[in-house]
């Protein structure tokens, strides 16, 4: 009974992960510009990968493989947001502007507050 | 199912190769070549070559991309529009391809266990490794022991290439004393913090790969590249000078030679026991223990040379004049 | 030829496509960095050719687990493993040459370099140009 539950949970995670990766890939193609594309790309390697890893951990049971999978998960947890940040930052430094940016008219007092904060 | 994955990955590879062909922005060409390496690594895992995949992922997607990017920063970012005729190369390539395809018709089919390659030499390695060497990873056993002489040659090639890179680029390396200290990525707070967190685990992982190579995928070649990657990422984020303080270029050059020396020295030891070059069986109490000691020593030498070549090559590229700016990476 | 036959040769054909793409980049493009990328593609296709030949249907990675199993051929793995690292070392050498060529000619386009070379030769050949 437990085995069946674990199996079901594992497959749920795997399929969910696969779905998220698929969504990410689709978004990467569909999104209009660089910055919006980063969002689906981020989904792929953080949430999608983590779900798949969780599913695999449930498949592997208690073994050395599980430990390794957790380590991979931890590594991804640190690296994938960082790489997304680095890419976005590099694009900003290089002077790439968002294509469909709508700059909201800022109330004047808030702008001065920002100035002061700096 | 397996063959579907195989074919899908192969088609991805071909697609990436065509994309590389079409792009003229060199930056995206380099990035695509990283993607190409990563996909081929996935394919290699699928083809049961886990050790090779490991190496390809570390080398192709990691070190190779960094070196190419530094070359781009030092040379040009765009490919000039071609002026030469495309027709003749296309015809030549097409005809060569057709001839090669014709040649494959006589080849044994993919995965055929009765193919000639599997009849000779390899079965002996597979059956004898367990009692002659006594380690689970057959690839490591063949690499370091059965074909140790071969590998020594490869390590020497890597060593020579490393020396040649240093010779070529040494003349134009900027003086470390007069250099205005590059601010590196000092304003990238997130990168600096995460790099600090990650470098320890990366080095630890490299050690694991180095010494676990007898039991699982891994060994000196992979570990060397991962070691180098740790130092390269440190140099990228904290600047060349800081990395130079942690691991001076001088020390790297000594390690470069020392690795090859350890390898060939291990081979020479067996001369004193009336054995052939690189016959490790005399090193331990039993032949098997000797093999183990020999393989660990040899792999250590390999790892040392590979890491030193990668790091010193990176130092040479990154230390060029004019300095590569922070945004270039 | 049957369909199953063609299926069994698919790996080799894609390898040939990759090989030819690499060769075409090397031959038809004048940019030296791109030529090196082309060489890398060619190189990877050779790796894949070797590893594809080593694969045995139903085999696993050649790591002994104590159970009787079918293993893929470990010999190509060994050859290619070392070849990859040698490949990056030689790529680095090629890139170093590109950097030096850029320093000397201020260009990494083959056509421009040849033009400069030709101009330099003509200068030397001109009679009375130099004492």
Rounded to a whole number, what is the distance in Å from the CA of B10 to chain C's nearest CA? 7
Contact C11 B110 (CB under 8 A): yes
Summary mean pLDDT of chain C: 87
Pick among A25, A77, A87, A90 to test the B interface (most B CBs inside 10 A): A90
* Residue of B122, B128, B132 whose CA lies nearest to B281: B132
* The two three-digit tokens of residue B136, written as one number: 């689970």
User: What's the whole-number mean pLDDT along residues C48-66?
Assistant: 89
- pLDDT value of residue A41: 86
User: What's the whole-number mean pLDDT along residues B5-11?
Assistant: 92
pLDDT in tens, B25-72: 998 999 999 999 999 999 999 999 999 999 999 998 889 999 998 898
Contact A82 B188 (CB under 8 A): no
| SS3 assignment for chain B | CHHHHHHHHHHHHHHHHHHHHHCCEHHHHHHHHHHHHHHHHHHHHHCCCHHHHHHHHHHHHHHHHHHHHHHHHHCCCECCCCCCCCHHHHHHHHHHHHHHHHHHCCCCCCECCCCHHHCCCHHHHHHHHHHHCCCCEHHHHHHHHHCHHHHHHHHHHHHHHHHHHHHHHHCCECCCCCCCCCCCCCCCHHHHHHHHHHHHHHHHHHHHHHHHCCCCCCCHHHHHHHHHHHHHHHHHHHCHHHHHHHCCHHHHHHHHHHHHHHHHHHHHHHHHHCCCCCCHHHCCCCHHHHHHHHHHHHHHHHHHHHHHHHHHHHHHHHCECCCCCHHHC
CA angle A15, A19, A20 (to 5 degrees): 120
The three-state secondary structure class of A32 is coil
Pick among B5, B50, B65, B188 to test the A interface (most A CBs inside 10 A): B188
Domains and CATH numbers, chain C: 3-56+70-125 (1.10.287.3510)
Chains contacting B (3+ CB pairs below 8 angstroms): A, C
B116 contact residues in C (CB cutoff 8 A): none
Rounded to a whole number, what is the distance in Å from the CA of B175 to chain A's nearest CA? 28
Provide φ and ψ at B168, rounded to 5°.
-65, -40
Pick among C38, C81, C103 to test the B interface (most B CBs inside 10 A): C81
Provide φ and ψ at B233, rounded to 5°.
-65, -35
Contact C89, C68 (CB under 8 A): no
Contact C48 B122 (CB under 8 A): no
Contact B145, C47 (CB under 8 A): no
Query: At residue B263, does pLDDT exceed 60?
Result: yes
Indicate left, alpha or beta for B176 from its phi (over 0: left) and psi (-120 to 50: alpha): alpha
pLDDT in tens, B94-117: 999 999 999 998 888 888 888 888
User: What's the whole-number mean pLDDT along residues A6-28?
Assistant: 93
Query: At residue B160, does pLDDT exceed 90?
Result: yes
Chains contacting C (3+ CB pairs below 8 angstroms): B
Rounded to a whole number, what is the distance in Å from the CA of A82 to chain B's nearest CA? 7
Tell me which DSSP letter residue C57 carries: T
Chains contacting A (3+ CB pairs below 8 angstroms): B
- pLDDT value of residue B270: 87
pLDDT in tens, A95-104: 777 777 666 6
Contact A75 B201 (CB under 8 A): yes
ipTM entry = 0.89
* The two three-digit tokens of residue B25, written as one number: 């922005």
C-alpha distances (whole Å) from B180 to each of A93, B18, B240, B241 are: 22, 42, 12, 10
C64 contact residues in B (CB cutoff 8 A): 129-130, 136-138
Instruction: Name the residue facing A93 among B198, B201, B327 (closest C-beta).
Output: B327
Chain A residue with CA closest to B205: the answer is A71
Contact B219, B53 (CB under 8 A): no
Contact A94 B327 (CB under 8 A): yes
- Give Cβ neighbours of residue B14 (< 8 Å, ≥ 6 apart): C14, C17, C18, C21
- pLDDT value of residue A112: 47
Contact B12, C16 (CB under 8 A): no
pLDDT band at B296 (very low <50, low <70, confident <90, very high): very high
Query: At residue A111, does pLDDT exceed 50?
Result: no
pLDDT in tens, B103-154: 998 888 888 888 888 998 888 998 888 888 888 999 999 999 899 999 999 9
Asked whether residue A116 is assigned to any structural domain, the reply reads no
User: What's the whole-number mean pLDDT along residues B150-173?
Assistant: 90
The three-state secondary structure class of C56 is strand
The domain of A36 spans 2-101
pTM for this prediction: 0.88
User: What's the whole-number mean pLDDT along residues A76-93?
Assistant: 86
B190 contact residues in A (CB cutoff 8 A): 82, 85-86
**DSSP codes joined into one string, C32-51:** HHHHHHHHHHHHHHHHHHHH
Q: pLDDT exceeding 90 applies to what percent of chain C?
A: 53
Least confident of B168-177, C33-42, C85-94: B168-177
β-bridge partners, B137: C63
Contact C77, C62 (CB under 8 A): yes
- Using CA atoms, how far apart are residues B195 and B190, in angstroms rounded to an integer? 8
- pLDDT value of residue C6: 66
A93 contact residues in B (CB cutoff 8 A): 327
Chain A residue with CA closest to B200: the answer is A75
- pLDDT value of residue B179: 42
Half-sphere exposure of B243 (CA within 13 A, CB side): 29
- pLDDT value of residue B131: 87
- pLDDT value of residue B285: 86
* The two three-digit tokens of residue C84, written as one number: 């990859």
Provide φ and ψ at B216, rounded to 5°.
-135, -175
Cα B115 to chain centroid, rounded: 30
Count chain A–chain B contacts defined by CB atoms under 8 A.
20
β-bridge partners, C31: C109
Cα A63 to chain centroid, rounded: 28
- Using CA atoms, how far apart are residues B96 and A106, in angstroms rounded to an integer? 64
- Using CA atoms, how far apart are residues B307 and C17, in angstroms rounded to an integer? 33
**B58-70 burial code (b ≥16 CB/10 A, e <16):** bbbbbbbbbbbbb
* Residue of B241, B239, B219 whose CA lies nearest to B305: B219
How many distinct structural domains can be found in chain A?
A: 1
- Using CA atoms, how far apart are residues C45 and C26, in angstroms rounded to an integer? 14
Query: At residue C90, does pLDDT exceed 90?
Result: yes
Pick among B39, B190, B230 to test the A interface (most A CBs inside 10 A): B190
- Using CA atoms, how far apart are residues B82 and A57, in angstroms rounded to an integer? 52
- pLDDT value of residue B326: 55
Asked whether residue A71 is assigned to any structural domain, the reply reads yes
- pLDDT value of residue C124: 74
């Amino acid at each position: 009974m437990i085995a069946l539950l674990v199996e079901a949970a594992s497959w749920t995670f795997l399929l969910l992960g696969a779905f998220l990766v698929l969504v990410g890939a689709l978004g990467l193609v569909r999104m209009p510009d660089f910055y919006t594309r980063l969002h689906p790309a981020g989904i792929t390697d953080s949430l999608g990968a983590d779900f798949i890893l969780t599913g695999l951990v449930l498949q592997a049971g208690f073994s050395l493989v599980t430990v390794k999978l957790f380590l991979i998960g931890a590594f991804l947890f640190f690296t994938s947001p960082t790489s997304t940040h680095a890419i976005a930052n590099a694009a900003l430094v290089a002077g790439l502007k968002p294509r469909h940016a709508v700059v909201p008219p800022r109330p004047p007092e808030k702008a001065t507050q920002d100035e002061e904060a700096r | 199912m397996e063959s579907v994955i195989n074919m899908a990955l192969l088609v991805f590879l071909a697609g990436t190769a065509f994309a590389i062909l079409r792009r003229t922005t060199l930056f995206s060409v380099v990035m695509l070549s990283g993607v190409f390496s990563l996909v081929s690594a996935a394919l290699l895992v699928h083809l049961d070559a886990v050790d090779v995949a490991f190496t390809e992922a570390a080398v192709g997607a990691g070190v190779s991309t960094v070196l190419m990017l530094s070359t781009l920063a030092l040379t040009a970012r765009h490919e000039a529009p071609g002026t030469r005729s495309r027709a003749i190369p296309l015809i030549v390539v097409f005809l060569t391809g057709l001839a090669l395809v014709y040649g494959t018709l006589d080849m044994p089919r993919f995965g055929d266990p009765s193919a000639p390659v599997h009849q000779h030499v390899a079965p002996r390695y597979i059956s004898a490794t367990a009692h002659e060497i006594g380690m689970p990873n057959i690839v490591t056993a063949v690499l370091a022991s059965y074909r140790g002489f071969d590998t020594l040659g490869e390590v020497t090639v890597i060593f020579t290439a490393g020396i040649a890179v240093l010779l070529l680029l040494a003349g134009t390396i900027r003086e470390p004393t007069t250099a205005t200290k590059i601010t590196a990525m000092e304003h990238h707070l997130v990168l600096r913090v995460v790099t600090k967190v990650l470098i320890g685990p990366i080095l630890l992982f490299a050690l694991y790969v180095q010494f676990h190579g007898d039991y699982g995928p891994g060994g000196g070649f992979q570990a060397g590249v991962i070691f180098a990657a740790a130092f390269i990422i440190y140099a990228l984020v904290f600047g060349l000078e800081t990395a130079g303080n942690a691991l001076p270029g001088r020390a790297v050059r000594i390690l470069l030679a020392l690795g090859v020396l350890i390898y060939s020295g291990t081979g020479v030891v067996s001369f004193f026991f009336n054995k052939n070059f690189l016959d490790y069986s005399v090193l331990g109490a039993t032949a098997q223990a000797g093999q183990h000691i020999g393989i660990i020593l040899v792999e250590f030498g390999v790892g040392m040379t590979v890491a030193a070549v990668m790091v010193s090559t990176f130092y040479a590229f990154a230390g060029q004049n004019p300095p590569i700016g922070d945004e270039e990476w | 030829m049957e369909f199953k036959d063609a299926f069994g040769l698919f790996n080799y054909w894609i390898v040939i496509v990759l090989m030819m793409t690499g060769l075409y980049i090397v031959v038809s493009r004048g940019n030296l960095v791109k030529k090196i990328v082309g060489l890398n593609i060619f190189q990877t296709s050779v790796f894949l050719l070797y590893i594809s030949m080593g694969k045995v249907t139903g085999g696993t990675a050649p790591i002994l687990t104590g159970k009787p199993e079918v293993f893929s051929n470990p010999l190509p793995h060994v050859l290619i493993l070392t070849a990859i690292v040698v490949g990056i070392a030689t790529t680095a050498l090629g890139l170093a040459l590109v950097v030096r060529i850029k320093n000397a000619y201020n260009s990494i386009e083959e056509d421009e370099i040849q033009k400069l070379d030709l101009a330099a030769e003509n200068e030397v050949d001109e009679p009375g140009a130099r004492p």
